[in-house]
Structure 1
Amino acid sequence: MDSIRDSLALERTRLANERTLLAYVRTGLSLIAAAAVLFQFFSSQHTHVAMAWLLLVFGAVVLVVGVYRFYSVRSYLNQDEPEE
């Protein structure tokens, strides 16, 4: 009974990890889309262009951090005997 409970808990944790990755991707792409809007509509104003570059870089960083966290948690969960 405990092995079934443990395997289901592990599967729920894996699914939560995937949902977290999707949240990071959604956030990163939203920031990049906001940067694209600023580039498109305010290309003549230097303040908005600087903000657009900042959003673009921050969106890319969010994507990279999300992918890194996903793979690090996934590799931890796939170990035979996780450390406690």
Structure 2
Amino acid sequence: MEEREMILRDHLALDRTKLANQRTLLAFVRTSLYLVVSGIAVIKVDFLDKIRFLGFILVGISLIVLILGIWNYFHFRKKMMNQYRQE
């Protein structure tokens, strides 16, 4: 098998893909922060005590979103690196 050298276009595509993956991670983090802030607000506001359980659910969902975002980032990064090593 001959090993193909990456040309400039391939390097630029790889950089765009890395940046897109980082942007996606930041979107997951931002969403998680919005959810945790909303959850804490629902928990702390006195006249929303009838739906206080919703605040705890939002905080839990925010943790799940954060974990999924981090997992997605590292999974795609590993997949991308394996793809470019094979070529």
So what's the TM-score if we normalise by structure 1? 0.86
Alignment of 1:29-44 (within 5 A): 29-42=33-46
Q: Deviations over 1:35-63 (max 9, x none)?
A: 11111113772x32110011011111000
| Runs of 4+ in structure 1 over 3 Å off | none
For 1:7, the equivalent position in structure 2 comes to 11
Alignment of 1:60-75 (within 5 A): 60-75=63-78
Distance 1:71 1:10 in 2: 15
The alignment-based identity, stated in percent, is 31
Gaps of 5+ in 1: none
Q: 1:43·1:49 contact (CA, 8 Å) conserved in 2? A: no
RMSD: 1.7
Gaps of 5+ in 2: 1-5
